[in-house]
Amino acid sequence: MRKENRILLFFAKRGPVLCCLVLAAVVVLSMVVNVLSGKEGEISIGSSPSSAGGSGAEKDDPGEAVFTGAQAWGKEEEIQAVWVPFMTLDFSKESDQSEGAFREKFSSIIAGALEYDLNALIVHVHPFGDALYNSEYYPWSHLLTGVQGKDPGYDPLQIMVEMAHEAGLEIHAWMNPLRISIEGTPETLSPENPAMLWQGQEDKEDWIVTTDTGIFYNPAIDGVRQYIAEGAAEIAANYDVDGIHFDDYFYPTQSESFDQQQYAAYVEQAEGYGEVLSLQEWRCSNINTLVSLVYQKIKAADPSVVFGIAPQGNISNDMAMGADVRVWGSVRGYVDYLCPQLYVNFENEALPFADAAEEWKNLVTCPDVKLCLGLAVYKAGSDSDGGTWKESDTILAQQVSLGRELECSGFMLYSYDYLFSEQTKEEVQNVMKVLQEGA
């Protein structure tokens, strides 16, 4: 089944953005510091990646058509997706690391998704500055062979795309844009990992930052942002994916030391031009520049591929890590959808689900940005949040019902393995019944 037969446009022409103009103007002004140009309420489409990369089956030329609106899921279809995290695809300690074993594993994942009539898989293919696909930007993931950089002898993403589409499922490539390693995972980086290649290069010595918790790309550097954006576009260009998906990992710390040198240089330059952004505002501007560039590069590679982000459910936390979700939800040209991870229940004192869902609904005002809700299947039946998840086995079902009342575009479930856990069994049965009734 070809993609053009699976994907329908939400919007064939531009929608009004009058409500976004003032906010967009502020955003663009702050981005001048980072050399970003764009119109009020709209980010212009950039050029193609400098390198296509990869050896996956290249797509047909998408032609000259460039769409400004969200590309996935027709108006009548509700997205019902499940996240497939890297842990589910970890073959690093398996005795059988063959292509056949991988196909068998992914076949079982597809069967599980079909059992519950889900229509999309969000698959982790870039968790640690690496790749579960053939890339010119990143080394092979250690998850495939136990050794980062070792060719597994097959292309997992190509296989997953083919198998998912044969089953009638969408597949979105899930990427962590900044994380290279965290808490010792992976233990050893490939010599071909950019973090290793850039060591000792005077012009790139600040492109990578090492903290107490891990190693990360520095989004304050324009060259880093370009590299990440082209890495995302590589997937859109070479694989028939339906979407590219970022999660909630942006700035890993609020410590001033992470990018102190770059911020000091910015302040020195900006003081001669007017008001200086705070560190938090400046970091948001850096991430905004990155996100808009990723969007441009993806659309240049293949306009039909959607780009979405799953930020934390707590908006204050998002802003603290540079994730300016208010801008992304109100201005065209950053994302096609947002899927906040609302991993709370109705009884949560700090962030009750109903209040949070309504806040996100009010936040997404751009007509070209869709809102999905990320639901915490993994908490069902657990002791989390003071044991309140044990008080009912219809919490997730009620959350789906509320999401539909708010006219959200769909739901994403975290995560695949918990759909088949004894702990979550009753809750999963109940939420699936509601999902299927409304599909």
Question: For the chain, which domains are there?
Answer: 3-40+69-438 (3.20.20.80)
pLDDT over 80 (residue 51): no
pLDDT at 35: 36
Mean pLDDT value across the chain: 87
Q: Which of 307, 269, 175 has the alpha carbon at shortest distance from 231?
A: 175
pLDDT band at 273 (very low <50, low <70, confident <90, very high): confident
Segment 78-91 shows an average pLDDT of: 98
Rounded Cα gap, residues 271 and 280, in angstroms: 17
pLDDT at 73: 52
Rounded Cα gap, residues 403 and 413, in angstroms: 13
pLDDT over 50 (residue 27): no
pLDDT band at 76 (very low <50, low <70, confident <90, very high): low
Q: What are the backbone dihedrals phi and psi of residue 288, each rounded to the nearest 5 degrees, phi first?
A: -60, -45
pLDDT at 75: 52
Q: Are 52 and 238 spatial neighbours (Cβ–Cβ below 8 Å)?
A: yes
Q: Are 14 and 67 spatial neighbours (Cβ–Cβ below 8 Å)?
A: no
pLDDT band at 17 (very low <50, low <70, confident <90, very high): very low
Segment 244-264 shows an average pLDDT of: 97
pLDDT, tens only, 348-381: 999 999 999 999 999 999 999 999 999 999 999 9
pLDDT at 29: 39
Segment 4-32 shows an average pLDDT of: 37
pLDDT over 50 (residue 307): yes
pTM (2 decimals)? 0.86
Single-letter code of the amino acid located at 387? G
Rounded Cα gap, residues 403 and 98, in angstroms: 41
Rounded Cα gap, residues 70 and 365, in angstroms: 14
Lookup: tokens for 271:
């003081």
Q: Are 71 and 7 spatial neighbours (Cβ–Cβ below 8 Å)?
A: yes
